[in-house]
Amino acid sequence: MSKKNSNLTVEQKLVMFEDGTEPPGSSELNNEKREGSYHCANCDVKLFDSKTKYESGSGWPSFYQSLPDVFETKTDHLIGYARTEYHCKNCNAHHGHIFDDGPLPTGKRYCNNGVCLVFKETK
């Protein structure tokens, strides 16, 4: 069962719980370079460390590694072929898809919708 935060925007609800996606290049987090962490916009669980963020050229915030045990995955066929979707293990909010074209050391690209994330700077 999904636990929806009542403070989410319409766009966040669409992406996180209704199989939507944000337009590429639309997230301010694409250009975020500060040290910190990225949290689920729905439940505030810490998902990524800024050290694993990189510029993938995809138009979405991308990471080569998540924090341990924060996501569950499933296969979706929404665009006509199989992709690995990942969602927050705590609240079941959809975040994006994992691809095998990322940098070392993992070779993974967690392609995340920016509206699903909250950045918290390390002070």
Q: What is the pLDDT of residues 65-76, one digit of tens each?
A: 999 999 999 998
Q: What is the pLDDT of residues 11-52, one digit of tens each?
A: 999 999 998 999 999 999 999 999 999 999 999 999 999 999
Let me know if 43 is a catalytic residue.
no
- Tokens found for residue 112: 């995340």
CATH of domain 10-121: 2.170.150.20
pTM above 0.85, yes or no: yes
Q: Cβ of 123: how many Cβ atoms within 10 Å?
A: 5
Does residue 86 carry a pLDDT above 70? Answer: yes
> What is the Cα–Cα distance from 69 to 119, expressed in whole angstroms?
19
Which position among 40, 88, 91, 111 bears the catalytic label? 111
